[in-house]
Structure 1
Amino acid sequence: MGTITLIAAAASGLMAGLFFAFSVAVMPGLADLPASAAREAMRRINVRIQNPLFLLVFLGNAVLCGIEVFQGRIAGGLLYVVGCVLLTMFVNVPMNNRLDQTDDAYWPQYLRTWTIWNHVRAVACLASMVTLLLGF
Protein backbone atom coordinates (compact mmCIF):
# COMPACT_ATOMS: atom_id res chain seq x y z
CA MET A 1 0.00 0.00 0.00
CA GLY A 2 1.39 3.34 -1.04
CA THR A 3 1.70 6.65 0.73
CA ILE A 4 -1.06 8.29 -1.32
CA THR A 5 -3.45 5.49 -0.42
CA LEU A 6 -2.66 5.81 3.28
CA ILE A 7 -3.08 9.59 3.25
CA ALA A 8 -6.34 9.32 1.27
CA ALA A 9 -7.66 6.69 3.69
CA ALA A 10 -6.70 8.83 6.70
CA ALA A 11 -8.29 11.94 5.18
CA SER A 12 -11.46 9.99 4.37
CA GLY A 13 -11.51 8.85 7.99
CA LEU A 14 -11.10 12.43 9.21
CA MET A 15 -14.03 13.53 7.08
CA ALA A 16 -16.12 10.57 8.26
CA GLY A 17 -15.41 11.64 11.84
CA LEU A 18 -16.36 15.24 11.15
CA PHE A 19 -19.65 14.25 9.54
CA PHE A 20 -20.30 11.71 12.31
CA ALA A 21 -19.80 14.42 14.95
CA PHE A 22 -22.26 16.66 13.17
CA SER A 23 -24.82 13.84 12.95
CA VAL A 24 -24.61 12.71 16.56
CA ALA A 25 -23.79 15.91 18.45
CA VAL A 26 -23.91 19.19 16.56
CA MET A 27 -27.24 18.82 14.77
CA PRO A 28 -29.06 17.25 17.77
CA GLY A 29 -27.67 20.08 19.90
CA LEU A 30 -28.94 22.67 17.45
CA ALA A 31 -32.30 20.88 17.35
CA ASP A 32 -32.71 21.67 21.05
CA LEU A 33 -32.50 25.42 20.39
CA PRO A 34 -35.21 27.77 19.17
CA ALA A 35 -35.21 27.97 15.37
CA SER A 36 -33.78 31.49 15.26
CA ALA A 37 -30.81 30.60 17.50
CA ALA A 38 -30.18 27.27 15.78
CA ARG A 39 -30.34 28.84 12.33
CA GLU A 40 -27.92 31.59 13.29
CA ALA A 41 -25.52 29.10 14.91
CA MET A 42 -25.56 26.91 11.80
CA ARG A 43 -24.97 29.93 9.60
CA ARG A 44 -21.88 30.79 11.69
CA ILE A 45 -20.65 27.18 11.52
CA ASN A 46 -21.05 27.23 7.73
CA VAL A 47 -18.86 30.35 7.55
CA ARG A 48 -16.20 29.07 9.97
CA ILE A 49 -15.84 25.64 8.37
CA GLN A 50 -14.56 27.26 5.22
CA ASN A 51 -11.00 27.53 6.54
CA PRO A 52 -7.67 26.48 5.02
CA LEU A 53 -7.24 23.30 7.06
CA PHE A 54 -10.73 22.00 6.33
CA LEU A 55 -10.44 22.86 2.64
CA LEU A 56 -7.02 21.19 2.44
CA VAL A 57 -8.40 17.92 3.78
CA PHE A 58 -11.77 18.11 1.99
CA LEU A 59 -10.52 19.13 -1.46
CA GLY A 60 -6.99 17.74 -1.18
CA ASN A 61 -8.44 14.32 -0.53
CA ALA A 62 -10.62 14.65 -3.63
CA VAL A 63 -7.41 14.98 -5.64
CA LEU A 64 -5.83 12.02 -3.85
CA CYS A 65 -8.96 9.92 -4.36
CA GLY A 66 -8.94 10.88 -8.03
CA ILE A 67 -5.40 9.51 -8.22
CA GLU A 68 -6.60 6.38 -6.42
CA VAL A 69 -9.27 5.84 -9.07
CA PHE A 70 -6.66 5.99 -11.83
CA GLN A 71 -4.45 3.58 -9.88
CA GLY A 72 -7.21 0.97 -9.74
CA ARG A 73 -8.74 1.64 -6.33
CA ILE A 74 -11.93 2.77 -8.02
CA ALA A 75 -14.48 2.03 -5.29
CA GLY A 76 -12.57 3.81 -2.54
CA GLY A 77 -11.81 6.83 -4.66
CA LEU A 78 -15.32 7.21 -6.06
CA LEU A 79 -16.98 6.73 -2.69
CA TYR A 80 -15.17 9.84 -1.47
CA VAL A 81 -15.49 11.95 -4.61
CA VAL A 82 -19.17 11.17 -5.16
CA GLY A 83 -20.38 10.48 -1.61
CA CYS A 84 -18.53 13.36 0.01
CA VAL A 85 -17.46 16.07 -2.42
CA LEU A 86 -20.22 15.95 -5.02
CA LEU A 87 -22.93 15.35 -2.43
CA THR A 88 -21.65 18.31 -0.42
CA MET A 89 -21.51 20.58 -3.47
CA PHE A 90 -24.88 19.61 -4.94
CA VAL A 91 -26.98 18.96 -1.82
CA ASN A 92 -25.60 20.34 1.46
CA VAL A 93 -24.09 23.60 0.16
CA PRO A 94 -27.27 24.61 -1.72
CA MET A 95 -29.22 23.91 1.45
CA ASN A 96 -26.77 26.06 3.40
CA ASN A 97 -27.21 28.85 0.85
CA ARG A 98 -30.98 28.59 1.14
CA LEU A 99 -30.67 28.76 4.93
CA ASP A 100 -28.93 32.12 4.48
CA GLN A 101 -31.71 33.42 2.25
CA THR A 102 -34.80 32.27 4.13
CA ASP A 103 -36.41 32.85 7.47
CA ASP A 104 -36.66 30.61 10.51
CA ALA A 105 -39.61 28.68 9.05
CA TYR A 106 -37.14 26.76 6.84
CA TRP A 107 -35.11 25.53 9.82
CA PRO A 108 -37.10 22.33 10.65
CA GLN A 109 -36.97 21.12 7.04
CA TYR A 110 -33.30 22.08 6.77
CA LEU A 111 -32.41 20.28 10.00
CA ARG A 112 -34.12 17.06 8.96
CA THR A 113 -33.00 16.91 5.33
CA TRP A 114 -29.47 18.26 5.85
CA THR A 115 -28.86 15.75 8.63
CA ILE A 116 -30.07 12.80 6.55
CA TRP A 117 -27.68 13.72 3.74
CA ASN A 118 -24.93 14.27 6.29
CA HIS A 119 -25.42 10.68 7.48
CA VAL A 120 -24.89 9.58 3.88
CA ARG A 121 -21.67 11.61 3.68
CA ALA A 122 -20.40 10.04 6.91
CA VAL A 123 -21.09 6.52 5.66
CA ALA A 124 -19.56 7.25 2.24
CA CYS A 125 -16.37 8.59 3.82
CA LEU A 126 -16.10 5.64 6.18
CA ALA A 127 -16.69 3.24 3.30
CA SER A 128 -14.07 5.10 1.27
CA MET A 129 -11.53 4.70 4.05
CA VAL A 130 -12.22 0.99 4.47
CA THR A 131 -12.22 0.18 0.76
CA LEU A 132 -9.01 2.14 0.17
CA LEU A 133 -7.31 0.24 2.99
CA LEU A 134 -8.55 -3.04 1.51
CA GLY A 135 -7.21 -2.03 -1.91
CA PHE A 136 -10.49 -1.53 -3.75
Structure 2
Amino acid sequence: MIDGPYFVLTVLGVLACGLTAGAFAAFSAFVMRGLAALPPAQGIAAMNSINVTAVGPAFMAVFLGATGLCAVLAVVTFVLWPEDGTVELLLGSALHLVGSFGVTVAANIPRNDALAEVDPQSAKGAAYWRTYVREWTAWNHVRGAASLAAAACFLLALT
Protein backbone atom coordinates (compact mmCIF):
# COMPACT_ATOMS: atom_id res chain seq x y z
CA MET A 1 0.00 0.00 0.00
CA ILE A 2 1.22 3.47 -0.87
CA ASP A 3 1.41 5.65 2.24
CA GLY A 4 3.10 8.64 3.85
CA PRO A 5 4.76 11.24 1.62
CA TYR A 6 4.56 8.84 -1.34
CA PHE A 7 0.77 8.79 -0.95
CA VAL A 8 0.68 12.60 -0.90
CA LEU A 9 2.84 12.78 -4.04
CA THR A 10 0.54 10.34 -5.80
CA VAL A 11 -2.61 12.26 -4.82
CA LEU A 12 -0.98 15.48 -6.01
CA GLY A 13 -0.13 13.68 -9.27
CA VAL A 14 -3.80 12.73 -9.71
CA LEU A 15 -4.90 16.31 -9.13
CA ALA A 16 -2.22 18.00 -11.24
CA CYS A 17 -2.66 15.65 -14.20
CA GLY A 18 -6.44 15.93 -13.87
CA LEU A 19 -6.29 19.73 -13.91
CA THR A 20 -3.98 19.65 -16.92
CA ALA A 21 -6.33 17.26 -18.71
CA GLY A 22 -9.24 19.61 -17.94
CA ALA A 23 -7.44 22.60 -19.45
CA PHE A 24 -6.61 20.63 -22.59
CA ALA A 25 -10.17 19.28 -22.79
CA ALA A 26 -11.59 22.79 -22.64
CA PHE A 27 -9.42 23.82 -25.56
CA SER A 28 -10.37 20.78 -27.59
CA ALA A 29 -14.08 20.97 -26.77
CA PHE A 30 -14.83 24.64 -27.34
CA VAL A 31 -11.95 27.13 -27.30
CA MET A 32 -10.38 26.01 -30.58
CA ARG A 33 -13.80 25.63 -32.20
CA GLY A 34 -14.66 29.17 -31.15
CA LEU A 35 -11.38 30.52 -32.46
CA ALA A 36 -11.75 28.61 -35.73
CA ALA A 37 -15.15 30.22 -36.26
CA LEU A 38 -13.56 33.70 -36.26
CA PRO A 39 -12.12 35.30 -39.38
CA PRO A 40 -8.50 34.07 -39.68
CA ALA A 41 -6.88 37.39 -38.68
CA GLN A 42 -8.98 37.55 -35.52
CA GLY A 43 -8.43 33.88 -34.70
CA ILE A 44 -4.68 34.25 -35.15
CA ALA A 45 -4.58 37.37 -32.97
CA ALA A 46 -6.65 35.70 -30.25
CA MET A 47 -4.58 32.50 -30.26
CA ASN A 48 -1.32 34.44 -30.18
CA SER A 49 -2.63 36.33 -27.17
CA ILE A 50 -3.65 33.07 -25.48
CA ASN A 51 -0.22 31.59 -26.18
CA VAL A 52 1.48 34.54 -24.47
CA THR A 53 -0.89 34.36 -21.50
CA ALA A 54 -0.54 30.57 -21.16
CA VAL A 55 3.08 30.87 -20.09
CA GLY A 56 1.98 32.87 -17.04
CA PRO A 57 2.16 31.56 -13.47
CA ALA A 58 -1.33 29.99 -13.22
CA PHE A 59 -1.16 27.47 -16.05
CA MET A 60 2.58 26.93 -15.84
CA ALA A 61 2.35 26.07 -12.13
CA VAL A 62 -0.19 23.35 -12.91
CA PHE A 63 1.44 22.07 -16.11
CA LEU A 64 5.07 22.16 -14.96
CA GLY A 65 4.00 21.09 -11.47
CA ALA A 66 2.38 17.99 -12.94
CA THR A 67 5.48 17.34 -15.02
CA GLY A 68 7.75 17.69 -11.99
CA LEU A 69 5.50 15.47 -9.87
CA CYS A 70 5.51 12.80 -12.58
CA ALA A 71 9.29 12.88 -12.79
CA VAL A 72 9.59 12.61 -8.99
CA LEU A 73 7.01 9.81 -8.87
CA ALA A 74 8.90 7.87 -11.55
CA VAL A 75 12.22 8.21 -9.72
CA VAL A 76 10.73 7.37 -6.31
CA THR A 77 8.93 4.37 -7.79
CA PHE A 78 12.15 3.05 -9.33
CA VAL A 79 13.96 3.54 -6.01
CA LEU A 80 11.29 2.12 -3.69
CA TRP A 81 9.74 -0.38 -6.13
CA PRO A 82 6.56 -0.78 -4.06
CA GLU A 83 4.66 -4.07 -3.96
CA ASP A 84 1.50 -2.35 -5.14
CA GLY A 85 0.98 0.23 -7.86
CA THR A 86 4.41 0.11 -9.50
CA VAL A 87 3.11 -0.44 -13.03
CA GLU A 88 0.38 2.19 -12.64
CA LEU A 89 2.80 4.78 -11.23
CA LEU A 90 5.40 4.25 -13.94
CA LEU A 91 2.79 4.17 -16.70
CA GLY A 92 1.11 7.32 -15.37
CA SER A 93 4.43 9.11 -15.18
CA ALA A 94 5.39 8.07 -18.71
CA LEU A 95 2.00 9.05 -20.11
CA HIS A 96 2.25 12.56 -18.76
CA LEU A 97 5.96 13.06 -19.40
CA VAL A 98 5.82 11.82 -23.00
CA GLY A 99 2.17 12.26 -24.01
CA SER A 100 1.56 15.63 -22.41
CA PHE A 101 4.85 17.41 -21.78
CA GLY A 102 6.70 15.80 -24.68
CA VAL A 103 3.91 16.46 -27.16
CA THR A 104 3.66 20.06 -25.97
CA VAL A 105 7.37 20.64 -26.59
CA ALA A 106 7.57 18.69 -29.86
CA ALA A 107 4.22 19.52 -31.49
CA ASN A 108 2.22 22.36 -29.94
CA ILE A 109 4.94 24.89 -29.10
CA PRO A 110 6.53 24.77 -32.58
CA ARG A 111 3.11 25.42 -34.11
CA ASN A 112 2.55 28.30 -31.69
CA ASP A 113 5.92 29.77 -32.65
CA ALA A 114 5.11 29.45 -36.36
CA LEU A 115 1.71 31.09 -35.82
CA ALA A 116 3.35 34.05 -34.11
CA GLU A 117 5.47 34.60 -37.25
CA VAL A 118 2.68 34.68 -39.87
CA ASP A 119 1.05 37.86 -41.11
CA PRO A 120 -2.57 37.47 -39.94
CA GLN A 121 -3.82 39.63 -42.81
CA SER A 122 -2.14 37.61 -45.57
CA ALA A 123 -3.49 34.72 -47.63
CA LYS A 124 -0.56 32.65 -46.35
CA GLY A 125 -1.59 33.50 -42.79
CA ALA A 126 -5.19 32.46 -43.45
CA ALA A 127 -4.07 29.18 -45.02
CA TYR A 128 -1.70 28.46 -42.14
CA TRP A 129 -4.47 29.23 -39.64
CA ARG A 130 -6.67 26.45 -41.05
CA THR A 131 -3.76 24.00 -40.89
CA TYR A 132 -2.75 25.22 -37.44
CA VAL A 133 -6.22 24.74 -35.96
CA ARG A 134 -6.52 21.21 -37.34
CA GLU A 135 -3.02 20.03 -36.37
CA TRP A 136 -2.76 21.89 -33.04
CA THR A 137 -6.14 20.56 -31.93
CA ALA A 138 -5.27 16.98 -32.91
CA TRP A 139 -2.08 17.14 -30.84
CA ASN A 140 -4.04 18.79 -28.03
CA HIS A 141 -6.38 15.78 -28.01
CA VAL A 142 -3.30 13.59 -27.49
CA ARG A 143 -2.10 15.80 -24.62
CA GLY A 144 -5.51 15.76 -22.97
CA ALA A 145 -5.94 12.01 -23.29
CA ALA A 146 -2.42 11.38 -21.98
CA SER A 147 -2.95 13.65 -18.97
CA LEU A 148 -6.30 12.06 -18.17
CA ALA A 149 -4.86 8.57 -18.52
CA ALA A 150 -1.95 9.55 -16.26
CA ALA A 151 -4.38 10.77 -13.59
CA ALA A 152 -6.35 7.53 -13.89
CA CYS A 153 -3.16 5.45 -13.53
CA PHE A 154 -2.17 7.31 -10.38
CA LEU A 155 -5.67 6.86 -9.00
CA LEU A 156 -5.49 3.13 -9.74
CA ALA A 157 -2.14 2.95 -7.96
CA LEU A 158 -3.84 4.23 -4.81
CA THR A 159 -6.55 1.55 -4.83
Mark yes or no: TM-score above 0.5: yes
Bigger shift: residues 71-80 or 106-115: 71-80
The residue number in structure 2 matching 1:93 is 109
Partners of 2:113 and 2:126 in 1: how far apart?
Answer: 14
Question: Of 106, 109, 120, which residue of structure 1 is paired with 2:142?
Answer: 120
Partners of 1:94 and 1:120 in 2: how far apart?
Answer: 16
Note the residue ranges of structure 1 that are not aligned, 5 or more in a row.
Answer: none
The residue number in structure 1 matching 2:97 is 81
SS of 2:55's partner is coil
Q: TM-score, normalised by structure 1?
A: 0.96
- Greater C-alpha Rg: 2
The residue number in structure 2 matching 1:8 is 13
Question: Of 90, 110, 127, which residue of structure 2 is paired with 1:105?
Answer: 127
The residue number in structure 2 matching 1:133 is 155
Bigger shift: residues 100-109 or 74-83: 100-109
SS of 2:38's partner is coil
SS of 1:128's partner is helix
Q: Deviations over 1:67-121 (max 9, x none)?
A: 2212141101111111111110111000000001122321000000000000111
Kept in 2: contact 1:68–1:76 (CA 8 A): no
The residue number in structure 1 matching 2:80 is none
The residue number in structure 2 matching 1:27 is 32
Aligned residues: 136
Letter in 1 for 2:32: M
Q: Deviations over 1:10-37 (max 9, x none)?
A: 0000000000000011001011111110
Runs of 4+ in 1 over 3 A off after TM superposition: none
Partners of 1:80 and 1:95 in 2: how far apart?
Answer: 20
Note the residue ranges of structure 2 that are not aligned, 5 or more in a row.
Answer: 78-85, 119-124
